[in-house]
Amino acid sequence: MTGLGAVFRPQLPPERLRSIARLADDVGLEELWLWEDCFLEGGISTAAAALAWTERVRVGVGLLPVPLRNVALTAMEAATLHRLFPGRATLGVGHGVQDWMEQVGARAESPTTLLREHLDALRALLRGERLTTQGGRYVRLDDVALDWPPPAESAVPVFAGATGPRTLRLTGEAADGTILDAATPPAGVRRARRLIDEGRRAAGRTGAHPVVVYLLTATGPDAEARLRAELTAEGRSAIPDLGVAGDAPAVAKAVQALVDAGADSVILQPTADEPDPEGFIRFTAQEVRPLVP
pTM for the structure as a whole = 0.97
Range of 121's domain? 3-212
- If you average pLDDT over residues 46-72, what whole number do you get? 98
Residue 38: inside a domain, yes or no?
Answer: yes
pLDDT at 1 > cutoff 90: no
Residue 270: inside a domain, yes or no?
Answer: no
- Give 181-205 pLDDT, tens digit per residue: 999 999 999 999 999 999 999 999 9
Residue 280: inside a domain, yes or no?
Answer: no
Supply the pLDDT for residue 172: 98
Residue 80: inside a domain, yes or no?
Answer: yes
Residue 220: inside a domain, yes or no?
Answer: no
Asked if 262 and 192 touch (Cβ cutoff 8 Å), the reply is yes
Share of the chain above pLDDT 70, in %: 100
- If you average pLDDT over residues 49-59, what whole number do you get? 98
Supply the pLDDT for residue 135: 82
Supply the pLDDT for residue 134: 84
Residue 249: inside a domain, yes or no?
Answer: no
Residue 257: inside a domain, yes or no?
Answer: no
Residue 219: inside a domain, yes or no?
Answer: no
d(CA 281, CA 197): 33
Query: What CATH number corresponds to the domain at position 208?
Result: 3.20.20.30
**What's the structural domain count of the chain?**
1
